[in-house]
């Protein structure tokens, strides 16, 4: 992969993270606002509904941004991990074979 492609991917990820943090901070500020508004206006704690509803959206946003799902990015990373494991095993087998041959010489 070319450096330009890597840079483009990294920049896209940073933008996604920035949007998530902005979304999270607005949820946090508005949650405090809802709680304060609720405390001064009603006996029933209705603020929990918008806080939880928006919180679910935040959770899905976090899953999307931080790749907790099994999407294409995850699959590519897992393939690369498996390739690394296979190559290291092959290297270990070759080393064992080489060292066992030296013992008989």
Given a contact cutoff of 8 angstroms between Cβ atoms, the answer to whether 61 and 23 are in contact is: yes
pTM above 0.85, yes or no: no
From the CA atom positions of the chain, what is the Rg in Å?
25
Show the domain range for 47: 1-68
Query: What does the pLDDT read at residue 68?
Result: 63
Distance between terminal CA atoms of the chain?
A: 45
Same domain, 61 and 103: no
Strands (E), the chain: none
Same domain, 55 and 86: no
Same domain, 19 and 62: yes
Q: How many domains does the chain have?
A: 2
Given a contact cutoff of 8 angstroms between Cβ atoms, the answer to whether 54 and 30 are in contact is: yes
Q: What string of pLDDT tens digits covers the 105 residues of the chain?
A: 678 878 888 898 899 999 999 999 999 999 999 999 999 999 999 999 999 999 999 999 998 888 765 556 677 777 888 888 888 887 766 666 656 555 555
Same domain, 27 and 62: yes
Listed residue (7, 32, 24, 11) closest to 63, CA to CA: 24
Same domain, 41 and 64: yes
Distance (Å, whole) CA 87 – CA 38 = 60
């Amino acid at each position: 992969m070319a450096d330009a492609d890597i840079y483009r991917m990294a920049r896209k990820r940073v933008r996604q993270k920035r949007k998530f943090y902005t979304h999270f901070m607005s949820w946090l500020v508005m949650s405090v606002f809802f709680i304060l508004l609720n405390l001064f206006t009603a006996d029933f704690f209705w603020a929990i509904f918008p806080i939880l509803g928006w919180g679910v959206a935040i959770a899905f946003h976090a899953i999307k941004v931080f790749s907790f799902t099994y999407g294409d990015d995850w699959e590519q990373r897992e393939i690369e991990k498996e390739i690394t494991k296979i190559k290291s095993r092959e290297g270990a087998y070759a080393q064992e074979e080489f060292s066992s041959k030296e013992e008989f010489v």
